[in-house]
Structure 1
Amino acid sequence: MSLAELPVLERARAVYADGSLLEWRPLNGLQRMMLRWEQFCPLNAAHVLTLSGSVTASSLGDAVRAALGRHFPLPAEVCSGGNRMRCGVRLGQGGDVELAVSSVHRQPELAIAGVLDRELNRYFLGGLHWPFRFHAICETADRWHLVVVYRHAFMDSRGISALCRSVLRVLRGFELTEPAPGFAPDLSSIVPAFSDSAAARHSVVSVSREIFHGLGSWRAQQRFAGPDRCVTGVESESLSLSAVLHSARSLGVTVQDLLLAAMHDSLSQMSLVTGRRQRIGLYTPVDLRQETVPPVPEASGQVLGGYTLRLPRERGGSFADLAKRVSRESQAIKRSGHYRLYERHLSFMTAVWDRLSHRANEVAGPFLAPVAALASNVNLNVFFEDELQSGQLLDYSRYTGTGIMTSMMVGLTTCGANCRISTTHHSTLFAESEIRELRRRVCCRLLGEFQQL
């Protein structure tokens, strides 16, 4: 019997020999800061998969539990100070993971939108809990949609993709015999740049400069809005991968640079940004799994760096010149390795946050993360190669709750021959029409329309 097939209390006994799961372990700066942002609004994220093949509610539930048995076998809890976490079981707490099943015969996108709208705005339980919620939507007997909602402080996008891949493999009849990936240790112990004392001194200067420059950047949130909700861009667009690649290559830039340039251009050209001397800050995450020693390709947790690209708002220049400038700036950041220090940036922010009152954080919080938007680009074609070739995985999209870190998020997810672009945003900061127009402009740039829009 596999670990996932055991009752929850039996799982605790089965993994007790691995003390790393059951002992308190420190959270990194990104995780600690995320937990503090949750004081004002949920910070959840979701992946949506479209599956083909012989699937039933029972087989899908079994596959989900089997995958959790390998990646996240027990419920988790955070200590009262929000600095450590552990997995474990207490009688009457934790229970089974939440898996809801529903059927829809037409317009499944509306059902998915309803789930996302509800779940991205619903807090996870405190105390010992599963930081995941699963929703299976049956469209036809051989076409299902799986929505995986997760608490972002516990897991990043790559960790969830690894979990989803295990679910798909179990559905195809494979046994998960590989060693469990486990939780990534503290980033300072596995990323070489963090252990360098010179890098530590440099990070203080870098963090201070980041906050200083950020104060002059445009941002939509001057303070936390009252009854705010994270609204998903349910009208996500599917773009041809070959067309997007052709557009990027024609300018001599990467798809990531093209996405950032398209975001900057759209915010500049639209009336969303006011003021002549302000810069636009665009944040993008960077997966550090391949840079750790040793590499942790499927480890659970937040194994992310990141950087903010801040360029002055300009009118009149060509989009091609902007894209090439974005490329130069991004390459310079990557060569310097500054993106590895983002965790320390947030550790510094956490220390400031803990010394301020709730009211002060309500006002000052947005100034500690002054960015206009988050842009995330992920290519899953290699990661899901077997699932795509077998025809089991038809589509994949990602939605990140914006929290207070940024007012909107744009995600570009490559799966198969298509790129899926999705958005989330604060309901009190942007109208649906504004986000729809911004998404249209970004899509036009990604597809090679480089003239004035």
Structure 2
Amino acid sequence: MNMQGRLNIFQRTMLKWDEFHPYNAIGLLKVPGRLDAQRLKSALNRSIERRGIGRFRLDRKLRAYSYPGGSYTADLRVISGAEDSLKAAHNEVELQLNMRFVEADGEINPFRFFAVDGPDFFYLGIVYFHVIADGYSLAQLAKDIARAYQSADDEALLQCTDLYPDTCRSMFRRKPVSFFLPSLSIPNFLSGLRRSTKPYQMYHVNDQQLGFRLLRCDAPIAATLSAVAHTWGVTQNDVLLALVFKVIAPFVSEKKVRDKKKRMAIGAAISISRELGIKLRGTFGVFLSSFTVSHMDPASHSLEVLSKDISRQTLRIRKRRLYLVTLFEKWLALKFMPLMQRKQQMKFYPKNYPLWAALTNMNFKTLMDDLEGGREIELASTVSTGPSCPIAFSVIRVRETIHAGISFRLAVFSRAEVEQIAADFLRYARELTALPVTPKKGRQEEA
């Protein structure tokens, strides 16, 4: 079996997580117009074939992969949304989050699709094996599928120029100092994790079923989020992290392990495509790392104070590139975990990475604008929580609409509790629209 690419550290970690529970990601497109299932299936086939990503061969032992290419026939499930199309899409997303991709003789069809018809629009779900792609690769694929559905002109579709991008190992070889200096912070990083509390239900390793909830924030909230972040001198990502702290904090005291630890930690994903020297357009893969922020008492602070506290942490993380430390500790975990029994492996992440939530934040403001009816196309996403945290927020902004896909561990958060979390998130977000906004100099890059 000829393998052309090597899995990077984050992909290998995802592959390990997939052993415990399906580690899937899902993009949900809302497309204007009535559903034509045959035309949609043709668009899916053409988009996937042109990129050459319809077949994924994996050698777990060598940690290598390849895309053999060839013809492709989409696995498309059409669902009636006559009564409530959003609810039908919602239910299907939850089902797909908990459904494993089948591997046969080292080969996986890494995509599943579903479509839910509505009165004058339809939802398209793009379910994919998260090991193959991150959120940016998903967004470009979603745009191409929408374009192919509108037009039979395949020349307008994006052709992947690089399915086998550079790995983190090459980055460390090229710039060893840029990795060595952040690695000096590993003792402080581990010490911070040890001081953080953890949800005791995460130890219920036999119950990893996931639920799903979709949030939609309309134009006033999206516009205000940017303006408020600018006024406070922080990034939008800092404000979103503060929102997640605020909505999760009320549940910590009753769900935490009974110890004296008080810090609450949240993880956030970050792209390292710049460090890898990768041009994202035309490249398909996963180019991620992550970082952790923590706080002693988020419930008693205002969003402004909390955002500024978080900003001080993220500024230090970005300035010193401390997110690269995460890759090293993930590499160490992959080295040690084979020495453990399976039950110990399943408890390893909840015990050593006590996160209460995770956030992925992506801004594709003008992504769909050059498509016919592109201003009416909406995109949302969600990912499996993984073994480290009980709830994950996947936030995507397209034009002036923000969607937050919330996946959550049902053993930790009940559906009623997540409804409360969603309501609080919207309430805090709407309160931002009433704040005075005075543009001033602040950090504009996303952390």
Q: TM-score, normalised by structure 2?
A: 0.86
Question: Does the Cα contact within 8 Å between 1:260 and 1:375 map onto a contact in 2?
Answer: yes
Distance 1:345 1:382 in 2: 36
Shift of 1:169: 1.6
1:425 maps to 408
Question: Does the Cα contact within 8 Å between 1:49 and 1:396 map onto a contact in 2?
Answer: yes
After the TM superposition, which residues 53-452 of structure 1 pair with which residues of structure 2 at under 5 Å, given as runs? Answer: 53=33, 55-81=35-61, 83-88=63-68, 96-126=73-103, 127-140=106-119, 142-173=120-151, 174-176=153-155, 178-188=158-168, 191=171, 195-202=174-181, 204-220=183-199, 221-234=201-214, 236-240=215-219, 241-270=222-251, 271=253, 274=256, 277-314=261-298, 316-387=300-371, 390-391=373-374, 393-448=376-431
Question: Does the Cα contact within 8 Å between 1:375 and 1:411 map onto a contact in 2?
Answer: yes
2:437 maps to none
Secondary structure at the residue paired with 2:29? strand
Distance 1:392 1:287 in 2: 26
CA RMSD of aligned residues (A): 2.8
Given residue 174 of structure 2, which amino acid in structure 1 is its aligned partner?
Answer: S
Shift of 1:195: 3.0
Q: Deviations over 1:136-192 (max 9, x none)?
A: 12213x41210011111121111111111111122232424554232242332664x
Secondary structure at the residue paired with 1:411? strand
Equivalent pairs counted in the alignment come to 424
Given residue 183 of structure 1, which amino acid in structure 2 is its aligned partner?
Answer: L
Question: Does the Cα contact within 8 Å between 2:263 and 2:296 map onto a contact in 1?
Answer: yes
Report sequence identity in percent. 18
Distance 1:407 1:186 in 2: 32
Moved more, 317-326 or 245-254: 245-254
Shift of 1:436: 1.8
Distance 1:403 1:188 in 2: 21
Q: Deviations over 1:412-444 (max 9, x none)?
A: 221232212221100111111222222222222
Shift of 1:26: 1.5
Question: Does the Cα contact within 8 Å between 1:32 and 1:82 map onto a contact in 2?
Answer: no
Given residue 216 of structure 2, which amino acid in structure 1 is its aligned partner?
Answer: E
Q: Deviations over 1:88-136 (max 9, x none)?
A: 389xxx9733111233223111211221121110100013121110111
Q: Residue 208 and residue 42 in structure 1: after superposition, are their counterparts in 2 closer, same or farther (change >3 A)?
A: farther
Secondary structure at the residue paired with 1:403? coil
Q: Residue 287 and residue 131 in structure 1: after superposition, are their counterparts in 2 closer, same or farther (change >3 A)?
A: same
Distance 1:344 1:284 in 2: 16
Moved more, 408-417 or 389-398: 389-398
1:38 maps to 18
Shift of 1:67: 1.4
Given residue 434 of structure 1, which amino acid in structure 2 is its aligned partner?
Answer: E
Q: Residue 243 and residue 433 in structure 1: after superposition, are their counterparts in 2 closer, same or farther (change >3 A)?
A: same
2:443 maps to none
Given residue 172 of structure 1, which amino acid in structure 2 is its aligned partner?
Answer: Q
Q: Residue 160 and residue 115 in structure 1: after superposition, are their counterparts in 2 closer, same or farther (change >3 A)?
A: same
For structure 1, list consecutive stretches of 5 or more residues without a partner in the other structure.
1-20
Q: Residue 36 and residue 260 in structure 1: after superposition, are their counterparts in 2 closer, same or farther (change >3 A)?
A: same
Q: Residue 41 and residue 334 in structure 1: after superposition, are their counterparts in 2 closer, same or farther (change >3 A)?
A: same
Shift of 1:201: 3.5
Distance 1:246 1:273 in 2: 35
Given residue 363 of structure 2, which amino acid in structure 1 is its aligned partner?
Answer: N
Distance 1:282 1:250 in 2: 24
Q: Residue 27 and residue 395 in structure 1: after superposition, are their counterparts in 2 closer, same or farther (change >3 A)?
A: same
1:15 maps to none
Distance 2:318 2:180 in 1: 19
For structure 2, list consecutive stretches of 5 or more residues without a partner in the other structure.
435-447
Q: Residue 277 and residue 228 in structure 1: after superposition, are their counterparts in 2 closer, same or farther (change >3 A)?
A: closer
Question: Does the Cα contact within 8 Å between 1:232 and 1:424 map onto a contact in 2?
Answer: yes
Distance 2:284 2:123 in 1: 23
Given residue 109 of structure 1, which amino acid in structure 2 is its aligned partner?
Answer: L
Which of 27, 38, 43 is the equivalent residue of 2:7? 27
Distance 1:198 1:253 in 2: 28
Distance 1:157 1:264 in 2: 23
Secondary structure at the residue paired with 2:131? coil
Q: Residue 332 and residue 39 in structure 1: after superposition, are their counterparts in 2 closer, same or farther (change >3 A)?
A: same
Distance 1:338 1:276 in 2: 27
Given residue 26 of structure 1, which amino acid in structure 2 is its aligned partner?
Answer: R
